[in-house]
Amino acid sequence: MRSVAVVAIRVARKPYWERPGSRWVVRRWPDLTACLAATFFFWLSLTPSLVPRPWYYQGAIGGITAAIGYGLGALLSWLFRVVSPWRPSQRVRARAWLGYLVLLPFAVAIMLGQSADMQRELRRLQALPPTLTWHSLMITAISLVMLALLLVVARSVRLGTRLLTQLLSRFVPWPVAVALGLALSTTVVVIGTRDVVWDRGILEVADRIAAAKDRSTDPGVMRPFSPLLSGSPDSLIAWEDLGNKGRTFTGTAISGEEISGFTGEDAMDPVRAYVGRASYDDYADGAELAVRELERTGAFDRAVLAVTGTTGTGWVNPTTVEALEFMHGGDTAVVTMQYSYLPSWASFMVDRNEAGLATEALFDAVYARWEQEPEGDRPRLLVFGESLAVAAIESAFDDLDDLIARTDGALLIGPPDFSPIHSALRDSRDAGSPIWRPEYDRGRHVRFAQFPERDLLRPDGQPWDTPRVVYLQNASDPVVWWSPDLLFKRPEWLNEPLGPDVTGSIDWFPFVTFWQTTVDMAVSYTSPAPHGHRYGSGPVDAWAAIAPPEGWTATDTDRLGWLLEVRHPPRRGWAG
Q: Would the pLDDT of 190 be above 90?
A: no
Q: What is the pLDDT of residue 460?
A: 87
17, part of any domain = no
Average pLDDT, the chain: 90
Q: Which of 125, 142, 169 is the last residue of a domain?
A: 169
Split at pLDDT 50, 70, 90, the class of 13 is low
User: By the 8 A CB rule, do 250 and 274 touch?
Assistant: yes
Of residues 84 and 394, which shows the higher confidence score?
394
User: By the 8 A CB rule, do 329 and 259 touch?
Assistant: yes
Are 148 and 238 in the same domain? no
* 386 backbone dihedrals φ, ψ, rounded to 5°: -135, 140
Q: How far is CA 212 from CA 243, 323, 342, 347, 541, in A?
A: 10, 31, 11, 16, 37
pTM above 0.85, yes or no: yes
Are 160 and 251 in the same domain? no
Torsion angle defined by CA atoms of residues 345, 347, 350 and 351, in that order, rounded to the nearest 10 degrees: -150
Split at pLDDT 50, 70, 90, the class of 365 is very high
Mean pLDDT of 332-342: 92
pLDDT digits 0-9 by tens, 412-459: 999 999 999 999 999 999 999 999 999 999 999 999 999 999 999 989
328, part of any domain = yes
Q: What is the pLDDT of residue 170?
A: 86
pLDDT digits 0-9 by tens, 506-534: 999 998 999 899 989 888 888 899 999 99
Contacts by 492-499, CB closer than 8 A, 24 or more apart = 492/435, 493/434, 493/435, 493/436, 495/434, 495/435, 497/434, 498/436, 499/434, 499/436, 499/437, 499/450, 499/474, 499/475
Split at pLDDT 50, 70, 90, the class of 26 is low
Are 163 and 252 in the same domain? no
Q: Would the pLDDT of 21 be above 60?
A: no
Question: What is the domain extent for residue 84?
Answer: 23-169
Are 132 and 238 in the same domain? no
Are 243 and 140 in the same domain? no
Are 147 and 272 in the same domain? no
507, part of any domain = yes
Are 248 and 361 in the same domain? yes
182, part of any domain = no
pLDDT digits 0-9 by tens, 448-506: 999 999 999 989 888 999 999 999 999 999 999 999 999 999 999 999 999 999 999 99
Q: What is the pLDDT of residue 526?
A: 86
At residue 293, the 3 state secondary structure works out as: helix
Q: Which of 124, 148, 169 is the last residue of a domain?
A: 169
The Cα 431–Cα 486 span in angstroms is: 23
Maximum mean pLDDT: which of 13-27, 170-184, 291-305: 291-305
pLDDT digits 0-9 by tens, 50-89: 999 889 999 999 999 999 999 999 999 889 888 888 888 8
Classify residue 486 as exposed, middle or buried by CB count within 10 Å of its CB (0-12, 13-18, 19+): buried
User: By the 8 A CB rule, do 251 and 313 touch?
Assistant: no
Are 132 and 279 in the same domain? no
Q: What is the pLDDT of residue 287?
A: 97
270, part of any domain = yes
Q: What's the domain count of the chain?
A: 2
Q: What is the DSSP letter of 30?
A: P
Are 149 and 273 in the same domain? no
Q: Would the pLDDT of 101 be above 90?
A: no
| String of DSSP letters for 211-277 | HHHHHS--TT------TTBTTSTT-SS-GGGSHHHHHHHHHT---HHHHHHHHSS--PPPEEEEE-G
Q: Which of 144, 169, 194 is the last residue of a domain?
A: 169
Are 261 and 327 in the same domain? yes
The Cα 403–Cα 321 span in angstroms is: 20
The closest alpha carbon to 315, from 338, 289, 332, 334, belongs to: 338
The Cα 406–Cα 152 span in angstroms is: 57
Q: Return all residues near 396 (Cβ < 8 A) that are at least 6 apart.
A: 356, 359, 360, 362, 363, 364, 383
178, part of any domain = no
174, part of any domain = no
Are 45 and 145 in the same domain? yes
Q: What is the DSSP letter of 28?
A: B
Q: What is the pLDDT of residue 11?
A: 56
Q: How far is CA 464 from CA 147, 436, 446, in A?
A: 54, 20, 8
459, part of any domain = yes
Mean pLDDT of 299-307: 98
Are 383 and 473 in the same domain? yes
At residue 86, the 3 state secondary structure works out as: coil
